[in-house]
A = this chain, B = another copy of it.
Amino acid sequence: MTNSDLDAVVAAVRERIDPDEEERRALADAAAELESRVYDALDDLPVDADVLQVGSTARGTWLSGDRDIDLFVRFPEELPRDELESYGLDIGHAVLPNGHEEYAEHPYVKGDYDGFDVDLVPCYDVPTAPEIRSAVDRTPFHNEYLVEHLDDDLAADVRVFKRFLKGIGAYGSDLRTEGFSGYLAELLILEYGGFEPLLRAATDWHPPVEFDPEDHGTRSFSDPLVVIDPTDPERNVAAVCSAENVARLQHYARDLLSNPREALFFNSAPPALDADGVRKHIDRRGTTPLAIVFDAPDLVDDQLYPQLRKSISGVADGLDRREFDVFRATTFAADEAVLFVELAVSERPAVERHVGPPVHVRQHAEGFYGAYAEGNDHYGPFLDGDRYVVERDREFTSATDFVTSDALFDVALGKHVESTLREDGYEVFVGDEVATLAETFGAELGWFYDPRP
């Protein structure tokens, strides 16, 4: 394998993702026009502020077709928060007459201009990143740092790396993906000086992998990947990135270097499954899938997915503790949400073993024996080595009985998942019944039954 194979693949990828001159010009024109509108609007306000284009479109690292323009309006630190918010919205509505309000840490206006999706976000102009008053205040510092350090070649490699991360499913610092943010991708390219050196290095990473570009970090992190924010010594830019996504990057870096191909940069999801396809896998595997299906709580993804993950982990743990062996578990969401477990053992006998204290621990032993000496609803007590043992009736002999009982609420569930299950109820599908989920979740079931790195 020679570099030229990889170079050829990268060149082909760039053909598809590099914005052309026309796209760049259209974007620059739109951004200039929007900025000028912001200053016009500012003229009407009794406050000094500036405007700043940020994000990938501000620094040439966007992929062709991305249509996001992010404009930050920086107000003086002294401005009370309520005034910042109201000025921010005034400007937003003035600049984007057909925009609507959204809410992050502050409300802001989102709207359409000349085919671009525009966010117009108010923030505070603080002297340094560690002094920020809300998370959005950090963005201008990131932007400034990257504009200063990224030249055109590096920006091109950022685009290639971002496309690669998307292709392998590791792009995005949202809490559903738990992957690499755009800013993290940019810093890694800066760190290694390009896409190929980054890939080559990643193949040999031994997490935890730690970088501190400005050599100013002041604390330690337990994350598998640590990149100290060059604009904030206390922040790990990769805090959200899971060990699995670090491993995913390592795996596909090796894969791409040993067998360069364009396909890795573009969606390589397994085919979606229909109901028949799901049934074939159930039959082939001999396992028992079990799905708890309910109306997805009305939450943004960054709240929903952590709650779903906490819930599936609680359900799987509750099943495991009752000796229903969970083989795999996952969760899906659209209008409905699904807690999906695949069981290797879904039925248990009527009895369960209950091991008591050693006979020589007299007080406990006598208490245990006394509690079970009478009655014929159990076997024993008998001796196993030096301990008493009884065999009692098991509370749940089938996994379905457990998840359809109130005991489901003894496991740790996400807050809104729990209230939805309690108040709106839920359905349980077992075995072949889960095949009907393919109608909504065919893609997710495709991944589940044809899992890839």
A438 to chain B, nearest CB (A): 18
Q: Which of A218-276 contact B (CB under 8 A)?
A: 224, 242-244, 246-248, 250-251, 254
Considering the chains assembled together, what is the distance between the CA atoms of A384 and B365 in angstroms? 43
Cβ–Cβ contact B344 & A348, under 8 A: yes
- B359, A286: Cβ atoms closer than 8 Å: no
A:369-395 near B, CB below 8 Å: 369, 379-388, 391
Q: Chain B residues near A400 (CB, 8 Å)? A: none
User: Is A436 engaged at the interface, CB distance under 8 Å to the other chain?
Assistant: no
The distance from the CB of A375 to the nearest CB of chain B, in whole angstroms, is 14
Q: Are B250 and A351 in contact (CB under 8 A)?
A: no
Chain B residues positioned under 8 Å from A250 (CB to CB): 359-360
Segment at the interface with B among A77-85, A95-103, A198-206: A198-206
**Is A64 interfacial (CB-CB < 8 Å)?**
no
A165 to chain B minimum Cβ distance, whole angstroms, is 15
A349→B247 contact, CB < 8 A: no
- Chain B contacts for A381, CB-based, 8 A: 452-453
The verdict on A214 contacting chain B, using a C-beta distance below 8 Å, is: no
Contact of A247 among B247, B351, B358 (CB under 8 A): B358
Q: Write the nearest CB–CB distance from A119 to chain B, whole angstroms.
A: 33
Residue A321 interfacial (CB < 8 Å): no
Give the nearest-CB partner of A281 in chain B. Answer: B379
In the complex, the answer to whether A244 meets B453 with C-beta atoms within 8 Å is: no
Find chain B residues with CB under 8 A from A254 CB. Answer: 362, 366
A207 within 8 A of B: yes
Contacts of A349 in B (CB 8 A): 285-288, 327, 344
Given A244-B383, A383-B247, is A285 in contact with B351 using a C-beta cutoff of 8 Å?
Answer: yes
Residues of B within 8 A of A391 (CB): 285
Interface string of A12-44 (1 = CB under 8 A from B): 000000000000000000000000000000000
Q: Please report the C-alpha to C-alpha distance between residue A250 and residue B362 in the assembled complex, in whole angstroms.
A: 9
User: Assuming A247-B358, A287-B350, A379-B451, what are 7 further A-B pairs, CB within 8 angstroms?
Assistant: A207-B360, A243-B385, A247-B359, A247-B387, A250-B360, A285-B350, A287-B349
The 3 lowest CB-CB distance pairs between A and B, nearest first, are: A382-B451, A286-B349, A247-B359
